[in-house]
Structure 1
Amino acid sequence: MGTTLGIFMGYCVCYGSYHNYSDARQWRIPVGLSFAWAIISMFGTILAPESPRFLVQKGKIEMAKESIAKINRAQNNSTIVLDELNNLMEAIELENQTGKPNWKEFFTGKPKIFFRVTMGVVLDSLQQLTGNTYFFYYATSTFKSVGLTDGFMTSIILGVDNFASTFVALYIIDHLGRRKTLMSGSAGMLACMAAYSILGVVALYPKEYGVDPKKPIGDAMIFFCCLFIFFFATTWGPGVYVIVGESYPLRIRADAIAIATAGNWIWGFLIAFFTPIITNVIHFAYGFVFVGTAAFELVFVFTCVPETKGMCLEDVDELYEHFTPGLAFRTKQTAKNNT
């Protein structure tokens, strides 16, 4: 939510500075405010409590207990604080016994570590391949062709949509579960992107691209774009980070998440770099690429992503002990039978 709020605020600042100034303040104000937020974050980090995990590793148990209590707004000796402290102590003791993870473990570790890391990379990559980057980066130029000429206003419209939709995500991810959330989001994005692309290719321009677009068709395309952002922001936007964060044991969790995130940034760069080149050639037909990736997302989540709702990291390890890649849709029943 903080990320989408920051994006929206950035759009508003750029809109205000562009429309109110005609000199260097157009770029100095947005950049200056970025420095201001960085300074606030720096001081906030100084005032934040130390990581309980770090304190336990250093043997400062009482300080770790106080840090956990402060984070959870609970008493030092409350059940939630003591349980979390014991879990941390057990996990760190296990790490001390087995040693630090090495790269070989990512390929041979159990249960199914290689599959879990690969799944994280694919999910993070597919988050970019949903087509959200296509709209967020290039909606300005796209909407100009359908009659909305103020690119900064376009950004604000998408920013409001993105930010408001995040509130819905807080509810559905925990109530629908991770798998249903991602699959419903893929289905919604597929339908919206297909409608958007078909309208752009078939109906927007009566003769050729760039000549007198039909405004009602353009308005319909803007609607499907905003609806697409809603489906993304309520499902794949935050949902991927939830699943990836829940899929690894503490021993390799940080490294595995970093590897998965690398897939996200690589595809983000590739889409940002190649989109203007591709759209100059095939125009709105580019959307059909993302229709295909949305269909693949549905299949991948249905077959390869088990449900981790309500599980601690230890339960997830047990889940993968009985998990068969390609049969994620049967994992719940299998786990039930094993218990």
Structure 2
Amino acid sequence: MAPSKTRVYNWYISLVAASCMVLYGYDASTFNAISGSDNWNAYFDDIIHKPNQYGAINTAYTVGAIVAGWFFGGPLADYAGRRAGMIAGALLVILATFMQAFAPRGNIGVFIGGRVIIGLGQGLALTAGPVYINELAPPEIRGVIMTFWQMFYSVGSFIAYWVNYACQIHKKSLGNWDWRMVIVFQLLVPILIVGLVFTIPETPRWYIQHGDQVEKARASLRRVRATEQEVEEELLEIQEAINFERTSVGSGYKALWTDKSVRKRLFIAFALNAGQQITGQGTLNTYSTIIYKKVFKSDQVSLINALNATFAIPFTLNAMWTADRFGRKFLFIVGAAGMAVCMLIVATVGIATPFYDLRGGIFIPTDDKVHGTKQRPVAIAIAFLLFLFSFFYKPSWGATTWIWTSEVFSMNVRAQATGMASQTQNIANSIVQQFFPTFLNNTGFACFYLFMAVNVLLAIFVWFVVPETKGVRLEEMDVLFGGANHVEQGAELVGVGKRESVEVGDGGKGLNGKDGVVESSNVVK
């Protein structure tokens, strides 16, 4: 059966919003890609051999993203709209791209300034994008659509690494354009976002939240729901939930800390998003070039990065059929367990096998863990294990972290909470990125034992602390965390009447204590 026009349009608007993640994937991979360029290194006065400055380039990006995500992304998305947040983020990325690509020779400060601004742009876009998707996507396909959100990160990496590989093949003829080209290509996606955002509707929840613009909210819903009955039922739910939030729980940053159930969700979301980066993925995505240089020759590294980014796309798509079938907790636990095993074997193989110094094409044993390489079979085995790590990471802690974070918060705090939680990724990442180059040089492959231990702890944390959210409607998510049902409470405030409890999923305990039952507003008595 062919999908309806409404469902196709739902996918279109969601993928436009998900394009914000291409920005993130591209830029998070750009520095790792160009750091393998001898021309880039020479242009900035041998920056690769200055560990503190080298780490600061990444830290600058994450600082910008953290500031925007924690303090500006939520208020902007709430005040001006979710689309405005995406546009503002894209425009900042465009500005920062020119700063990075055309920084004066030797002036690493301008390059770092561009990294800060591009981080600000990411912080705004990554706050507005997932909120937009979750406020318009039908609940039955919310997990599938948010899988594309994470997959688009992989698409950004895919483009960055393949552009870099093509440039490295022709680095002699390109000169400094072998790294500039990689940066300039980033203009493609923000320009596309700015052009397409005006073709998608603002969310109905934002219209109701700002001046009770009921007709505009209804018109927005009619573009994404198949029947008039669906439109009116959802519109009523939104009105009731927002009415309760206005009169009883407040909104914005204050409500994040005064509402116990929201506070609980926020702390869990912080842990999950920080965990996403300290699994080892954040480090691999930023420093895979220097890691692979320990086991491969330099001219092979750009190809391996490109292949890794290519495989990441189908790996991420595994979440499409698993997130809504097996649930979020299942993916978190299985993913963490798989990554732990991969990190254990990588560390063991790396330590147990000798390093060699290649002189004139001859392998000479060496104790130099910084500049030495592994023999080809060992190098291939380590690369395979890191690809396998990606296989476990992408559909679980990659995609599912975004699904869980963007769906658990109620309307009154959704933008602020999503922005803060998502930027916890960059807080964790900036800490690890700053010390990892020195850590790797001092300990060699033993450093991967740290990531193994982290993944074991994350699996335990999810098992005991994180509730299942599969199939639960956004307006009823509060019940899972011990909060009031905003829809039912809002209905009572306006005198609509009692709501009937119906099965909406198997994600946790409802008010009546039965698995998978929450107070639903599907039926008005």
- TM-score w.r.t. the length of structure 1 is 0.88
Does residue 114 (structure 1) correspond to residue 267 (structure 2)? The answer is: no
Does residue 53 (structure 1) correspond to residue 194 (structure 2)? The answer is: no
In structure 2, the CA distance between the partners of 1:211 and 1:117, relative to structure 1 (3 Å rule), is closer
CA–CA separation in structure 1 for the residues paired with 2:438 and 2:516: 52
Q: Please tell me whether the aligned partners of residues 4 and 162 of structure 1 are also in contact (alpha carbons under 8 angstroms).
A: yes
SS of the equivalent of 1:175 reads: coil
Residues 280-299 of structure 1 mapped to structure 2, 5 A cutoff: 280-299=441-460
Equivalent in the alignment of 1:247: 408
In structure 2, the CA distance between the partners of 1:117 and 1:99, relative to structure 1 (3 Å rule), is closer
CA–CA separation in structure 2 for the residues paired with 1:255 and 1:59: 20
CA–CA separation in structure 2 for the residues paired with 1:16 and 1:228: 26
Equivalent in the alignment of 1:301: 462
CA–CA separation in structure 2 for the residues paired with 1:137 and 1:121: 21
Does residue 203 (structure 1) correspond to residue 356 (structure 2)? The answer is: no
One-letter amino acid matched to 1:134:
T
Does residue 272 (structure 1) correspond to residue 449 (structure 2)? The answer is: no
Task: Render the CA deviation track for 1:76-104: whole Å, top value 9, x for unaligned.
Answer: x2x22222222222222223323742655
Residues 22-101 of structure 1 mapped to structure 2, 5 A cutoff: 22-56=174-208, 57-72=210-225, 74=226, 77=228, 79-98=229-248, 100-101=250-251
One-letter amino acid matched to 1:173:
A
Equivalent in the alignment of 1:335: 513
Q: Structure 1 residue 338: deviation in Å?
A: 10
Report the identity percentage.
26
One-letter amino acid matched to 1:94:
F
Q: Please tell me whether the aligned partners of residues 65 and 85 of structure 1 are also in contact (alpha carbons under 8 angstroms).
A: yes
Q: Structure 1 residue 211: deviation in Å?
A: 4.4
SS of the equivalent of 2:323 reads: helix
CA–CA separation in structure 2 for the residues paired with 1:50 and 1:307: 29
Q: Structure 1 residue 239: deviation in Å?
A: 0.6
Q: Please tell me whether the aligned partners of residues 161 and 305 of structure 2 are also in contact (alpha carbons under 8 angstroms).
A: yes
Q: Structure 1 residue 269: deviation in Å?
A: 1.2
Q: Structure 1 residue 145: deviation in Å?
A: 2.1
Aligned length in residues: 328
- The worse-fitting range, judged by mean Cα deviation, of 201-210 and 261-270 is 201-210
Q: Please tell me whether the aligned partners of residues 237 and 475 of structure 2 are also in contact (alpha carbons under 8 angstroms).
A: no
Equivalent in the alignment of 1:233: 394
Q: Please tell me whether the aligned partners of residues 107 and 113 of structure 1 are also in contact (alpha carbons under 8 angstroms).
A: yes
One-letter amino acid matched to 1:156:
A
Task: Render the CA deviation track for 1:133-160: whole Å, top value 9, x for unaligned.
Answer: 2222222222222235322112101101
Q: Structure 1 residue 4: deviation in Å?
A: 1.3
Q: Please tell me whether the aligned partners of residues 296 and 376 of structure 2 are also in contact (alpha carbons under 8 angstroms).
A: yes
SS of the equivalent of 2:174 reads: coil
CA–CA separation in structure 2 for the residues paired with 1:178 and 1:277: 35
CA–CA separation in structure 2 for the residues paired with 1:49 and 1:102: 23
One-letter amino acid matched to 1:287:
F
SS of the equivalent of 2:514 reads: helix
One-letter amino acid matched to 1:50:
E
**Equivalent residue for 1:194, pick from 344, 348, 351:** 344
Equivalent in the alignment of 2:315: 165
Q: Structure 1 residue 26: deviation in Å?
A: 1.9
Higher relative strand content: 2
In structure 2, the CA distance between the partners of 1:283 and 1:123, relative to structure 1 (3 Å rule), is same
Equivalent in the alignment of 1:326: none
CA–CA separation in structure 2 for the residues paired with 1:24 and 1:338: 58
CA–CA separation in structure 1 for the residues paired with 2:196 and 2:480: 38
Q: Please tell me whether the aligned partners of residues 293 and 373 of structure 2 are also in contact (alpha carbons under 8 angstroms).
A: no
Q: Gaps spanning 5+ residues in structure 1: where?
A: 323-329
Q: Structure 1 residue 262: deviation in Å?
A: 2.7
CA–CA separation in structure 1 for the residues paired with 2:188 and 2:387: 31
SS of the equivalent of 1:176 reads: coil
Aligned-residue CA RMSD (Å): 2.4
One-letter amino acid matched to 1:336:
K
Equivalent in the alignment of 1:134: 283
- The worse-fitting range, judged by mean Cα deviation, of 16-25 and 158-167 is 16-25
In structure 2, the CA distance between the partners of 1:113 and 1:52, relative to structure 1 (3 Å rule), is closer
One-letter amino acid matched to 1:302:
W
CA–CA separation in structure 2 for the residues paired with 1:22 and 1:165: 33
Q: Please tell me whether the aligned partners of residues 168 and 178 of structure 2 are also in contact (alpha carbons under 8 angstroms).
A: yes
CA–CA separation in structure 1 for the residues paired with 2:513 and 2:158: 42
